[in-house]
Amino acid sequence: MWVFGSKAAFLLGVACVNAVAQDVIINDSYFYGDSPPVYPSPNVTGAGDWDQAYQKAKEFVSKLTQEEKVNLTAGVSVNNGCSGNIQPITRLNFPGMCVTDAGNGVRGPDFVNSWASGIHIGASWNRELALQRGKYLGTEFRAKGVNAMLGPVVGPSGRMVTSGRNWEGFSSDPYLTGALAFQTVRGVQSEGVVACTKHYIGNEQETNRNPGHDVDGYTVESVSSNIDDKTLHEQYLWPFQDAVHAGAGSIMCSYNRVNNSYGCQNSKLLNGILKTELGFQGYVMTDWGAQHGGIAAANAGLDVVMPNSKLWGPNLPKAIANGTMELSRLDDMITRLMASWYYLDQASTIPSPGIGMPKDSSAPHQIVNARTSSENDILWKAAVEGHVLVKNVNHTLPLKTPRLLSIFGYDASGDGQAREQSFGNASQVAFLNETLYVGGGSGANSPAYLDTPYAALQRQAYKDGTSLHWDFYSQSPAINANSDACLVFINSFATEGWDRPGLYDDYSDTLITNVANNCRNTIVVIHNAGIRLVNNWVDHANVTAVIFAHVPGQDTGGPLVDILYGRENPSGKLPYTVAKNQSDYGSVLWPSLPEGEFARFPQSNFTEGVYVDYKYFDKHSITPQYPFGYGLSYTTFEYSDLRVSKSKSRYSAYPEHATIIPGGNPHLFDNLVTVSVTVKNTGGASGQEVAQLYLGVPKGPVRQLRGFEKVSIEPGQSKSVQFSLTRRDLSVWDTTAQQWLLQKGAYKVFVGGSSGDLALTSKLNF
């Protein structure tokens, strides 16, 4: 390793690093990351409930030849539709493994469902729904012979609001993301499928995520996410810790560099934090093509390379022979892989890897139907609960059997000619002529059908005797003066591979304004794969209702129409903050670009620390359009009777020398405080409310989410809601002690219906 004391040395050092693939350690004011590298890579221990799987894996590895061990460290290409494959060892009855995309449903084959995307589930704020969705994702992946689902996504985490992949994750808040990731991992793995949680870590932009070349042909390295230790733990590691605590069998390391060392060969991140501090028992697998180092990457903690490896293969035995790599490291790499296989009993659950993953679904192939009627209720509920009603003037919604309903906008229907098109000032890309049910790239999924809003509205019109008027293609459609309501459907597209050019587009905003100028009751529905601004038209007197419909999967129509007509009461809450202007997001609006003396080594300095999304808005006293956690209902709720009580345990001392379990020190998850509140439905309709708890921790942000519960309440009824706060919830990461520590002083407790509506407050002293 090297320790750099100057920028010039840094530039020279990175060039050396590219050749020999070592950690880069920076001691420069421009960069974070002055911790030493961590070697050797710790062996899997069988901690928690992994012991039997570990013992079986260890026995299996003892029977392998060195060539067989090497073969298991890297993916191979076979004649199926899996994203990657681990080759079989037939003499030991190991059938190999199929790993494939993605966290929102199986991508590529037929006879699977397109599920609501991560951001949609984030907007549901429903733990049980996340668990059940995970379970049925697992059943579909298992039926298709997939050993590892490449998901859920917890990074990107929403730091950069224009990131092209934010829609794959749950939220811009680490607590909400972690809670839903925990449930997703549990659900998927309950069906015998590995949940490969990704992308570890700091993968917050698509721009320069991979090495490229400048105009002179010189290599431009991946962007370096420069993150200090405290921010890393409190903001970006948090949801990964929850996934590991849930028992995740695999973690995917990311394309980007972290503190100038590639994420898939950063020993501090892999050996030091993931495998030692968090006690991770599974295997670390690269994102596709993310291996940049050979033996150094293996020593740093990388276990499996996808889709193949030009740097390992015969080089591993050579390294063992010349002493640059220990045989025990190779054994541990395979033990971790096989421990996950045994942990989920995949010999029984997935005996034929890739059986339902044809290379070409349009060619003749064996039909493997992964869809079951038992999942339909959860598929539908997942689509319903991610819709967020943010405006509803004078109870415009629900609709009451309109005589004439006018429907406008390119997102209302699907003509089979889906295509991306840049509009107007190129500030955004919309998904023209196709309702947006999922984002693009490897996170996309395969719908069994597509129920568009227009199709569902036609069914409703047939039932009610309503006449429909429609125009999906004009930006300035003719308005029938007899319209009881005008529905305008737009979307906000995002995809892997590029970051969004903005948070709105002129074409769609003009379309809405043109309709609103001529229709007194204009209802806007946005299928948004990420934050979408509304400030250009939301205050128009004729815009009476607005729904953020996110990306609900193949059922974009039916669940929405159920909400529009009141058969479902909207219960979604925003999993991010909607600003009034793009500039309100500050330095995290756009991706970091190569520039100046670092043009070939692009840097992204996370100088905002933990102040992301609503915490940033609080710190800078910026009033948002709609705050984090906000969402309307067709009923109203009232909060009362806030109570805070400490556990009788010795809460102030941090128990050290505990045996590490998956997730870290087990005492981090001790419940130290209980908070309760009464929520009453004061309106006239049954509804679900998301009660939210925020803490003001000494030496921390003004408030940060530390609890939420979604409850169903009948009109006039009250329910008691309880929140349990763990040691980790109440602590901050101490960089000197290198552990989570409670803080002395007064903690502020806030409870309410959103981060902007916290009616009840209390204090807690330590």
Per DSSP, 68 falls in state H
The 3-state secondary structure of 9-48, one letter per residue = HHHHHHHHHHHHCCCEEECCCCCCCCCCCCCCCCCCCCCC
**How far is residue 498 from each of residues 208, 432, 677, measured CA to CA in Å?**
9, 18, 44
Q: What angle do CA 57, 59, 61 make, to 5 degrees?
A: 70
Separation CA 733–CA 726 (nearest Å): 14
- The angle that helices 315-322 and 327-343 make with each other, rounded to 10 degrees, is 130
Here the tokens at position 440 are: 């693009």
Separation CA 316–CA 308 (nearest Å): 14
Here the tokens at position 294 are: 């050979």
Q: How many CB atoms lie within 10 A of CB 510?
A: 16
Separation CA 222–CA 291 (nearest Å): 12
| Closest by Cα among 89, 81, 85, 88 to 64 | 89
Beta-sheet strands, E only, within 438-572:
467-471, 485-492, 522-528, 543-548
Is the Cβ–Cβ distance between 639 and 753 less than 8 Å?
Answer: yes
Here the tokens at position 277 are: 């501090």
Per DSSP, 702 falls in state S
Q: What angle do CA 750, 754, 755 make, to 5 degrees?
A: 60
Query: Which DSSP helix (H) or strand (E) runs through 149?
Result: strand 148-149
Separation CA 433–CA 448 (nearest Å): 19
Instruction: Tell me if residue 506 is catalytic.
Output: no
SS3 assignment, position 189: helix
Separation CA 130–CA 445 (nearest Å): 17
**How far is residue 478 from each of residues 90, 274, 410, 536, 537, measured CA to CA in Å?**
67, 59, 15, 21, 19
- The angle that helices 51-62 and 327-343 make with each other, rounded to 10 degrees, is 130
The 3-state secondary structure of 382-445, one letter per residue = HHHHCCEEEEEHHHCCCCCCCCEEEEECCCCCEEEEEEEEECCCCCCEEEEEECCCCCECCCCC
Here the tokens at position 289 are: 């093509």
| Active-site residue, from 23, 228, 229, 287 | 287
Partner residues linked to 718 by β-bridges:
680
Separation CA 27–CA 31 (nearest Å): 7
What does the radius of gyration of the chain's CA atoms come to, in whole angstroms? 26
CA 304 to chain centroid = 22
Separation CA 666–CA 644 (nearest Å): 24
Query: Which DSSP helix (H) or strand (E) runs through 678?
Result: strand 671-681
Largest Cα–Cα distance of the chain, in whole Å? 84
Separation CA 120–CA 159 (nearest Å): 18
End-to-end CA distance of the chain: 42
Here the tokens at position 396 are: 């415009």
**How far is residue 646 from each of residues 58, 248, 371, 665, 671, measured CA to CA in Å?**
44, 31, 47, 21, 9
Positions annotated as catalytic residues are 287
